[in-house]
Structure 1
């Protein structure tokens, strides 16, 4: 029988570095004598335009973009867990959802921070939960310590209002 170590895959956002998800994933793996795989998706950037409207002389290559993504992932994980973290680091070209699902195919747990974008937050986590082959833990912004911005509060109010629009008597559940 081939025994694999307990594996926790954690998505590391390029914007926030997902500190809460990284720490929690690291603790879960340590408690079970397992390993952590930190994943970040990347995409090739398009050419930048100059003020005259022409494209810049140097267009970043996919190799340059991949090296930059790995460099940033290395520094983000080290900033959160320290330099001797022992985490396996992977950068994957493409969509973040597909990158996480592929990395978690044989994992025991997938951990992500809730997306900070109001528009993608419910759909991203929802799609991960239903498509993953292992349990998924989504760290809510309140646990991550992210303050709610006025725009975010207004956005969620609009989502709640849209959900009950046209249904008299339907209110937001009190929790």
Structure 2
């Protein structure tokens, strides 16, 4: 596996290109493994890509960027190393995949790559990502120039976000409350431990 520029990967026109978007938060292990298996079946090159943008310098009191030097090259190198480690963890060190950091948003990066790819593979969408509406998967499907495979949440086993966890907890509370509250014609279950029935 290597870190490379996609131009080097695409220089083989006789081999299709499978692109997998690797999330910085979930690391997309299921999407990586699926894409690697599919690329092996069709004899394609595999490119693992992560959208990246340099950090913004802190603002001064005047609202202008503070005079702080930033090591953008170092940030990019760190991001590339993290992506390389994620790919290696998911599909092993011996797989002939390429990894690349591309500057931009996930949508812009993957849409651009869809013009040269045979297939895009991405993680399950975060159900509670309210920063973009509609979500990346939905927008990508309508903007991509090639087929898109989206890993379903049950397959990718993405953990629920705190908002979804809280929603499930509230829903369970409502169900339990409805099940134990008295309703006309329905007797609530007895809380006694004995075998006898509750007195009339």
TM superposition score normalised by structure 1 = 0.75
Task: Tell me by how many angstroms 1:76 deviates.
Answer: 0.6
**8 Å contact 2:17–2:46 — kept in the other structure?**
yes
Task: Tell me by how many angstroms 1:59 deviates.
Answer: 4.0
**Aligned mates of 1:74, 1:121 — CA distance in 2:** 30
From 18, 24, 27, the counterpart of 1:17: 27
Confirm or deny that 1:85 pairs with 2:101. no
Confirm or deny that 1:144 pairs with 2:156. yes
Instruction: Quote the residue 1:169 is aligned against.
Output: none
Instruction: Quote the residue 2:42 is aligned against.
Output: 32
Task: Output aligned runs, 1:41-60, within 5 Å.
Answer: 41-47=51-57, 59-60=69-70
Closer/same/farther in 2, CA of residues 68 and 58 from structure 1, 3 Å limit: farther
**Aligned mates of 2:104, 2:139 — CA distance in 1:** 16
**8 Å contact 2:46–2:97 — kept in the other structure?**
yes
**8 Å contact 1:42–1:92 — kept in the other structure?**
yes
From 7, 12, 17, the counterpart of 2:17: 7
Secondary structure at 1:46 match in 2: coil
Q: CA RMSD in A?
A: 2.7
Instruction: Quote the residue 1:165 is aligned against.
Output: none
Instruction: Quote the residue 2:140 is aligned against.
Output: 128
- Structure 1 gaps of 5+ residues are 50-54, 158-175
TM superposition score normalised by structure 2 = 0.67
Mean Cα deviation higher: 140-149 or 92-101 = 140-149
Instruction: Quote the residue 1:112 is aligned against.
Output: 122
Instruction: Quote the residue 1:66 is aligned against.
Output: 76
Task: Tell me by how many angstroms 1:139 deviates.
Answer: 0.8
Instruction: Quote the residue 1:162 is aligned against.
Output: none
Task: Tell me by how many angstroms 1:60 deviates.
Answer: 3.0
**8 Å contact 2:124–2:158 — kept in the other structure?**
no
Instruction: Quote the residue 1:95 is aligned against.
Output: 105
Structure exhibiting the larger radius of gyration computed from Cα positions: 2
Task: Tell me by how many angstroms 1:111 deviates.
Answer: 0.3
**Aligned mates of 2:161, 2:142 — CA distance in 1:** 29
